[in-house]
Amino acid sequence: MSGTKIKKPVFKDETARQLVEAVIGVRDAITGGGSTIYGFHVNGAEADPYASVSYIKDAVGMTPAAMNYATSKFDYGSWERAFFMPRPCMLKSNGYVDYYLDPNDYSKKLDGSVSDIANTSYDGNAMMEWGRDGKKIWMKIVPDADPKSGSVYIADYQVDSTYHDWPFHNCKGAATEHFYTPIYNGSVISSKMRSLSGQQVSKTLSATEEMAAAKLNNPGSDELWNIECWADRMLINALLVLMGKSLNTQKIFGEGAHTGGNEVINDTFRTGVHNTKGLFFGTNSGSVASESFGNCVKVFGMENYWGFQWRRYNGLISVNGDVRTKLTYGTEDGSTATGYNTDGSGYKSTGVTPSGTTSGGWIAENKFIDDGIFPSVTGGSASSSTYYCDYLGFNNNTTAFALLGGYSIDGSGVGAFYSGLYTAPSSRSWASGAAVSCKPLA
Residue 216 within a domain: no
User: What is the spatial distance between Cα 267 and Cα 277, in angstroms, rounded to a whole number?
Assistant: 23
Do 234 and 328 form a contact (C-beta atoms < 8 A)?
A: no
Residue 15 within a domain: no
* Type and span of the H or E element at 310: strand 310-319
User: What is the spatial distance between Cα 185 and Cα 227, in angstroms, rounded to a whole number?
Assistant: 11
Residue 35 within a domain: no
List strand residue ranges (DSSP E) for 15-104, in order: 37-42, 53-57, 66-68, 73-75, 87-92, 97-102
User: What is the spatial distance between Cα 276 and Cα 218, in angstroms, rounded to a whole number?
Assistant: 29
Count of the separate structural domains present in the chain: 1
Residue 297 within a domain: yes
Report in angstroms the alpha-carbon separations of 9 from 15, 16, 103, 110, 124: 14, 11, 21, 22, 36
Do 373 and 365 form a contact (C-beta atoms < 8 A)?
A: no
pLDDT, tens only, 38-89: 999 999 999 999 999 999 999 999 999 999 999 999 999 999 999 999 999 9
Q: Please list the residues that pair with 259 across neighbouring strands.
A: 287
Residue 287 within a domain: yes
Residue 260 within a domain: yes
Residue 75 within a domain: no
User: Nearest CA to 314 among 207, 417, 414, 206?
Assistant: 207
User: What is the spatial distance between Cα 318 and Cα 399, in angstroms, rounded to a whole number?
Assistant: 6
Instruction: Give the residue numbers spanning the domain of 361.
Output: 249-433
Q: Write out the chain's pLDDT in tens, 442 residues.
A: 333 333 334 444 444 445 544 444 443 443 345 799 999 999 999 999 999 999 999 999 999 999 999 999 999 999 999 999 999 999 999 999 999 999 999 999 999 999 999 999 999 999 999 999 989 999 999 999 999 999 999 999 999 999 999 999 999 999 999 999 999 999 999 999 999 999 999 999 999 999 999 999 999 999 999 999 999 999 999 999 999 999 999 999 999 999 999 999 999 999 999 999 999 999 999 999 876 899 999 999 999 999 999 999 999 999 999 999 999 999 999 999 999 999 999 999 999 999 998 888 999 999 999 999 999 999 877 888 999 999 999 999 999 999 999 999 999 999 999 999 999 999 999 999 999 999 999 7
Looking at residue 29, its pLDDT comes to 43
User: What is the spatial distance between Cα 236 and Cα 254, in angstroms, rounded to a whole number?
Assistant: 16
Looking at residue 33, its pLDDT comes to 58
Report in angstroms the alpha-carbon separations of 383 from 41, 69, 233, 432: 21, 23, 23, 24
Q: What is the mean pLDDT of the chain?
A: 92
Residue 307 within a domain: yes
